[in-house]
Amino acid sequence: MLPHIEAYYALSDLSVSLIFLVGPAGYILAASSNALIHTRFGQRGIACAAPVLHLVSAVVLALHPPFPLLLLAFAGVGLGSAWLDGSWCAWAGAMGNANTVSGLLHGSFSAGAGVGPVVAGLMLARERGRGGGGDVGGGEWYSWFWVLVSDINTYDEHDGLYWSSSVRNQDFSFLVLLT
């Protein structure tokens, strides 16, 4: 996706590589703010703030703002991911088989980190091969972020279940039980 962002904003390789620096900056900010959020808002503070931050960042990225705001959105993704990463690691550490659970958790993350860029590259290459000019599903590189925004999970208080908004009122085989 970086070559498409680089072309869209007419950036050099050096400028577009700033994306790789703002994610860790979000992690550093999370490391210094995690204790404060847990103290003031508890576990629910992280459980609410991190997904909201991911949602806001995805909307900003989908709107393809000027490049400095794009960097800020990627920093927001890093911040939200770090908050969730720390929470999941604490959860795994409290389990009976902490080493196994932690290994599965981090193995899943590593598999996604390895496969995700390949899948994204194949999607862009496939569309480019069809004359789409590197488009994702008929749109530009940023249209992928609308896919992320559109599939936000919502909680139904009546049933006590999490539903994916894209399958609400549809076939119940897509139901994800998280309670």
DSSP annotation string for 52-102: HHHHHHHHHHHT---HHHHHHHHHHHHHHHHHHHHHHHHHHHTSTTHHHHH
Token output for 177: 């039980």
Query: Distance (Å, rounded) from C-alpha 37 to C-alpha 21?
Result: 24
| Same domain (yes/no): 125, 139 | yes
pLDDT digits (tens, 9 = 90+) for 155-165: 444 444 444 44
Full domain range(s) for residue 103: 2-150
Asked if residue 16 lies in contact with residue 6, where contact means CB atoms within 8 angstroms, the answer is yes
| Same domain (yes/no): 14, 71 | yes
Residue 69 banded pLDDT, cuts 50, 70, 90: very high
Query: What is the torsional sign of CA 173, 89, 57, 158?
Result: positive
3-state SS record for 84-96: HHHHHHHHHHCCC
- pLDDT reported for residue 154: 47
pLDDT digits (tens, 9 = 90+) for 71-118: 999 999 999 999 988 888 888 888 889 999 999 989 988 998 888 777
| Same domain (yes/no): 146, 165 | no
| Same domain (yes/no): 38, 50 | yes
| Same domain (yes/no): 107, 157 | no
Tell me what the mean pLDDT of segment 7-31 comes to: 92
| Same domain (yes/no): 123, 157 | no
| Same domain (yes/no): 102, 120 | yes
Amino acid making up residue 62: A
Residue with tokens 């800020």: 72
| Same domain (yes/no): 160, 133 | no
**Based on the structure, what is the number of domains in the chain?**
2
Confidence check: pLDDT of 125 > 70: no
